[in-house]
Structure 1
């Protein structure tokens, strides 16, 4: 059996008694804890203040008389203000760090019955954080009967999983929180459910930035809002939820929209503008498609995250805003860093908590509950409940869950599909004919996307297309796609020639790309235009 060490404060009131035989009729916590046959105390670290030195020595001597095997060590700690939480915690932390506790060779019990309420709370926190590597010891006088100087004792283990009722309650609360994040949808996809469980834990324990990655329509915006609403319910945030799609911010207006401006900062700035970051103070800022921001905006966002300060356009003094950032993107930011279009330091700051949302085609087992969810949303919007008949529902789900259904727009495609079927069912019942028409409509829509999928039919006539070998067509389609997702000829060149450019003495990616396009009679203006 390992020796037991007790740590506790001298009770200036509870441990005090008149000197004489009568003191053994009174319950004194520090003395009583050493009087139990079923609790052997080998070492007692008794903390006291200068003004109570005489009492500490008396308690030490009384412990020695009832428990000779107990070695009492008196530790002097004086507080200028025993009710100052910061001072008490700091000095007790120094005390804990200065003791050579070894839980492998001794059992440590932290006595929280004596001392001020502030001292008791600090002992609890230090034990919970394992600065004091032990369990909590609680003592109290015996209720009823003859006076008993020993009292009773109990040990509190901070491993809450050992308390079935508490563990069950925590599990229930966690389950309710994850259900809230999923908007109450009973999802079955194991990977998605695991991700939501992790997000629930992260959202409740930190205000660090969260990065949500995934294809357009995968639900990043909705999940971000649910995270905010969950923190709001738990009173972990008090401000607003501010959402902005960074793809809509361009040029000088991006700086103004994000960081605000002062009156007269530029032509048209007729009044002060707080900006989105200031509006999100105390709340949450969701920057969707953060990969679309320019490098200057990225630098200021990084400063705002780390220092909670930034400079509005046209201002000579910085302003403050304390917000939690959630960023969303459908881009591979690591690749963007390699290509020079996204700041490495900002990516490192965002990449602490990164979650990748799968598309609908990767969660086919979740289509049925999401179908019901979309029907509920339609009922809320339109004030009319629309349902499927049995055959129609089975037919729709058979198609929706098959690999014939591509769902390129993910949940946006599903929501649009439900809206169309509900609209074409004025009697409130979606039948097989409506489903058949919708399946045909989806196949046509997706077929049209496939037909123009490589993006070069609109650029070249039939004779030019026929003259291109299939191998060259695949390569050209990829080049066109990169051009359309880039903001300049130089950026597209850097992305396309990222590997080979490092092996050349001089680089001119824009010229190299321009010459490649010229082989097919194309130029930058043609291929970068969105059809």
Structure 2
């Protein structure tokens, strides 16, 4: 059987017994249901006499209890840093033996600061103990030992609390997913990671993903989560960096003083100042110029920035969320994005998968869009059975590209809901929508070979066989890279020229181009 060991401060007032009979350090050892084998009594040298008196009285009242006096001198028992440091050192040097002993910290004695420090050290398991709180008898005729309560701060042992924590985590995950019951394991794991980072860190976040994958919506939900967790107090400022160009970008982001723009304009606060205490979402951050990137980095790291035309920096502390559909690492290598800003953003990077990568999430997203449509239109719209089967089959098919990702899906469902007769989406309406989507995606496709040939040949490109289009496009690109007709010919005929007696590559290339009505001057970019 393990021994019970209690650790606590000498009660300099209560244990003296001057005002009442109940004395906590003595009483804690006198509960038959809670035998104390050893009491570690911490005392200051100024109370040496009282400590030894209490020790003798405990040994008389409870002979089975060993009392060890531990001198811990405190210059100011109300100084948190001093008290915590002294108790931390005590715990570090104590030598706990959990296999043979159970430990309890007596919270009743000592200053409120000491009680807080005991709690923190116990909760963090620096002291592997439970808490014991004693109290005097409620009536004078009760047993002088009073009452005691034991609290175990090891939360892992409390299933109900753990379940509550799990439910809260699920609520936060649901918030980040807009309440959609997503099924994609990779995306769900990503959301769980974002939830942990968003609730525990204020470092910048970088959201990567193709257009339409939901970066802006996720940034808004991250802000809502931070607001709920009280990690931010200010507003969310959403900036589309693609709309900021030149001096206007500087003024919009950092503000300016009156007259700084050369037109007598009044002061402007700037978007960074508007985000003070909140979240600044820089969508398409790759569109910012190098100078703006440098100032953003300075503002993130120092919480200060300099408005245009000002001699004094402005303070603004915000959390940065950046979004982009570009490879920032590649832009860094091309000299178009600052490596120091990229390094700062790259601490927490999350790539949002495209809709084709999350086809199992299409069905719950259709339901989400139907619910959203109900709020917009004021009435509930539903699919007929055959219409839903046809639409879902098309939506989840590997042959359906969804180039605009969730933006395409959302627009498609909204069209169906708006055009549905009597709030029912019919099979005929679905077929029309599918046909419209396919025509829309086909017209938006840009074939680089087709574009190159159309530039030179015009509408007659439709008269060229697909096989010849690929070959001719390659020939044209080679010509544009070559300084002369002969050099282009040597590059194009490098294999076959070895088997020919006559190696007039320039003439062969000239004749090939002539078949399509083209000349060297038409296809060459050389001077």
TM over 0.5: yes
Verify: 1:193 aligned to 2:161, yes or no.
no
Of the three residues 284, 291, 296, the one matched with 1:296 is 291
Mapping of 1:12-161 within 5 angstroms?
12-18=12-18, 26-35=21-30, 40=36, 42=38, 44=40, 46-48=42-44, 50=46, 52-63=47-58, 65=60, 66=62, 69-79=66-76, 82=78, 87-93=79-85, 95-97=87-89, 99-103=92-96, 109-130=104-125, 132-141=126-135, 146-149=142-145, 151-158=147-154, 160-161=155-156
Verify: 1:211 aligned to 2:237, yes or no.
no
Mapping of 1:235-250 within 5 angstroms?
235-250=230-245
Verify: 1:348 aligned to 2:343, yes or no.
yes
The verdict on how the C-alpha distance between 1:75 and 1:416 changes in structure 2, with shifts beyond 3 A counting, is same
The verdict on how the C-alpha distance between 1:468 and 1:291 changes in structure 2, with shifts beyond 3 A counting, is same
Distance 1:312 1:93 in 2: 45
Distance 1:471 1:148 in 2: 100
Deviation at 1:307, TM superposition (A): 1.5
**Comparing 224-233 with 432-441, which one deviates more in the overlay?**
224-233
Distance 2:355 2:173 in 1: 19
Verify: 1:461 aligned to 2:454, yes or no.
no
**Comparing 432-441 with 194-203, which one deviates more in the overlay?**
194-203
1:15-47 deviation line (CA, Å, top 9, x unaligned): 33149xxx8xx5433334445675555462515
Deviation at 1:432, TM superposition (A): 0.5
**Comparing 114-123 with 172-181, which one deviates more in the overlay?**
114-123
Q: Which residue of 2 aligns with 1:394?
A: 389
Structure 2 unaligned regions, length at least 5: 482-520
1:178-215 deviation line (CA, Å, top 9, x unaligned): 11111111111111111112222222222222221111
Aligned residue pair count: 470
Verify: 1:444 aligned to 2:439, yes or no.
yes
The verdict on how the C-alpha distance between 1:189 and 1:405 changes in structure 2, with shifts beyond 3 A counting, is same
- Three-state SS of the structure 2 residue aligned to 1:78 is coil
- Three-state SS of the structure 2 residue aligned to 1:212 is strand
The verdict on how the C-alpha distance between 1:352 and 1:420 changes in structure 2, with shifts beyond 3 A counting, is same
The verdict on how the C-alpha distance between 1:447 and 1:77 changes in structure 2, with shifts beyond 3 A counting, is same
Deviation at 1:223, TM superposition (A): 0.9
Of the three residues 298, 307, 311, the one matched with 2:306 is 311
Of the three residues 147, 166, 174, the one matched with 2:161 is 166
RMSD: 3.3
TM-score (norm. length: structure 1): 0.79
Distance 1:248 1:146 in 2: 78
Q: Which residue of 2 aligns with 1:417?
A: 412
